[in-house]
Amino acid sequence: MKTQLLFIILLLSCSLLLTGCFPGGGYYHEERQAGFFSGVWHGWIAPASLVYGSFEPSVHIYEPNNTGWWYDLGFYLAVIGGFGGISVLRRKKG
C-alpha cells in the first residue's frame, strides 16, 4: 500500500514539474529563445505535449520562439531517438 501511494505521489510530482516545460507555455520569447537542448527536450516530450495541448491551447508541440536550425536539429534528433526510430537501423539477431 505504501509503495502504491509513493508511486502516485511521485507520478503527480513529475507531471507537475513537466507542465512548466512544455513548448509554447510562455517561458520563451524574442529575447530568450529556445536553443538546441530545449529542442531535444521538446522532442522527447512531444507526445505528452500533444495530449496536454488538446486541453490547454497555449501549449504546442514545437516552440515558436526558437533559435532556428539548432533548435530544429535537437528537436528532430530527439523525436527520432526518443521514439525508437533509430532501432530501424539495427540488425535483428537471428
| CA pair distance 74, 46, nearest whole angstrom | 12
Domain boundaries, the chain: 33-85
Under DSSP, is residue 34 helix (H, G, I), strand (E, B) or coil?
strand
pTM of the model: 0.68
The confidence band for 44, taking pLDDT boundaries of 50, 70 and 90, is confident
The model's confidence at residue 71, banded by pLDDT at 50, 70 and 90, is: very high
Give the 3-state secondary structure of residue 92: coil
What integer pLDDT is reported at residue 92 of this predicted model?
Answer: 62
